[in-house]
Amino acid sequence: MNGQFKGSKVLIVGGTGTIGQSLLREILLDNPDVIRILSRDEYKQFQLQQEYKEYTNIRYLIGDVRDYNRVERAMQDIDYVFHTAAMKHVPACEYNPFEAVQTNILGTQNVIQAALACDVKKVVFTSTDKAISPTNTYGASKLMAERLMSAAQFQAGTKKTIFAAVRFGNVMGSRGSVIPLFKWQVEEKGKITITCKEMTRFMMSLRQATELTIKAMHIAKGGETFVLKMPVVRLMDLANIVVQSTSSTLNIPSSEIGIEEIGIRPGEKMYEELMTEEESISAKETDEMFIITNSFLGNRDYAGAVASKKQSYSSHGLTPLSIEELQHLLVSENLIRIQ
């Protein structure tokens, strides 16, 4: 933390989610004047109130990102907004596409309009690798939300609000991620299911996701998308490691746990992409991230950044972590235990 939020007023939209709660923990270290948590999950808000009851600078607001009036009221006098609310479960979005549109697209436009109306300093939106060359409703809705955030910057008129986005891979251990699912399947079903053994995914830790989002808030100049460079994981390797760890914890032989391949779900990809070759043409690159700039807003300079080479940043073109590297990563993030 760099003192950016000291004495400031912060709103976390979707603040009861995994990323929202992690942002809350980090921002509290900066001693902000107030942090407002806006979400529609009253039970999660109750849990947060119990966990953080000694803090007097947190406000808990029940509301939906789909409701513009509620979003605008929550944003009164706010300096910084983190927009993490989303409908993000791929099959649920496929089966209920307009619900995804209302939350992910219209909800994002509500955040943009409210931020402009309330003269917010900066807004950072959390996106996903599934927004790149999308094959599912979730990805398509997130891509549209990214475009809205980017367009907000050059359509803001005289308003000074800065808009930016961060693009995540799969956040390890987050709600709805595959690692908790695998553990549950081992414990309750005695087997796990994977869609395809050759599938690869970008993986990032919750801390990495949180730090990227906060750094984006710090260095954003307007209209950018920030992409962290992150490791690639083979799904079958991940499944085997979780089976070994969980079965050891349960004191059962790992050989008794089956791994069933069930096929790719509707809208799902074999590989994920975090940046297209076309995007790389206008991107800057540092040791830790790509910064995709908005071509409508001209050239921007960032400390330590150079022009990116023309490339696609895909999980298909990168070498996955070895079994040992992946195991070490999961242990370091307290996601598995080695007996």
pLDDT bin (cut points 50, 70, 90) of residue 334 is confident
In a domain? residue 111:
yes
pLDDT surpassing 80 at residue 173: no
- Residues 19-31: tens digit of each pLDDT: 999 999 999 999 9
Domain assignment present for residue 74? The answer is yes
Tens-place pLDDT, residues 232-245: 999 999 999 999 99
pLDDT digits (tens, 9 = 90+) for 34-92: 999 999 999 999 999 999 999 999 999 999 999 999 999 999 999 999 999 999 988 89
Percent of the chain with pLDDT over 90: 78
User: Does pLDDT of 1 surpass 70?
Assistant: no
As a whole number, mean pLDDT of residues 329-338 equals: 86
- At residue 178 the predicted structure's pLDDT band, cuts being 50, 70 and 90, is confident
Summarize the confidence of residues 245-271 as an average pLDDT.
88
Active-site residue among 44, 88, 130, 183? 130
Residue 263: left if φ>0, alpha if ψ -120 to 50, beta else—which one? Answer: left
- In this predicted structure, which of 2-16, 23-37, 162-176 has the lowest mean pLDDT? 162-176
Whether 155 shows a pLDDT value over 90: the answer reads: no
Instruction: Identify whether 46 is part of a domain.
Output: yes
Cβ atoms of 82 and 163 closer than 8 Å: no
Closest Cα to residue 274, out of 122, 134, 92, 147? 134
- Contact between residue 276 and residue 131 where contact means Cβ atoms under 8 Å apart: no
The pLDDT tens digits of the residues spanning 214-229 come to: 999 999 999 999 999 9
Look up the CATH number of the domain holding residue 84: 3.40.50.720
Query: From CA 198, how far away is CA 34, in angstroms rounded?
Result: 46
Global confidence as pTM: 0.91
Q: Strands of 185-257 (E only): list them.
A: 191-194, 200-204, 225-228, 232-234
Residue listed under structure tokens 């409908």: 87
**Phi-psi group of 316: left, alpha or beta (phi > 0 → left; psi -120 to 50 → alpha; rest → beta):** alpha
Residue 334 domain flag:
no
A 10 A CB-CB count for 263 gives 9
Give the mean pLDDT of 126-143: 94
Nearest Cα neighbor of 289 from 233, 219, 210, 226 is 226
SS3 content of the chain, % helix, strand, coil (to 5): 40, 20, 40
User: Is residue 16 a part of any domain in this protein?
Assistant: yes
User: Mean pLDDT across the stretch 147-161?
Assistant: 91
Active site residue 121: no
d(CA 273, CA 313): 6
Which residues span the domain enclosing 37?
9-170+204-229+273-310
- Examine the pLDDT at 268 and tell me if it is beyond 90: no
Separation between Cα atoms, residue 317 and residue 303, nearest integer Å: 28
Closest to 116 (Cα-Cα) out of 167, 81, 67: 81
Question: What's the mean pLDDT when you consider all of the chain?
Answer: 93
Task: Report yes or no on 182 lying in a domain.
Answer: no
Total domains in the fold of the chain: 1
pLDDT of amino acid 339: 66
Closest CA to 296 of 224, 195, 227, 235: 224
- The answer to whether residue 267 sits within a structural domain is no
Model confidence at 161: pLDDT above 80: yes
Residue 322 has pLDDT above 80, yes or no: yes
* Residue 154 within any structural domain of the chain: yes
Does pLDDT of 299 surpass 80? Answer: no
Region 145-149: what's the mean pLDDT? 96
- The predicted pLDDT at position 34 comes to 98
Mean pLDDT computed over 117-144: 95
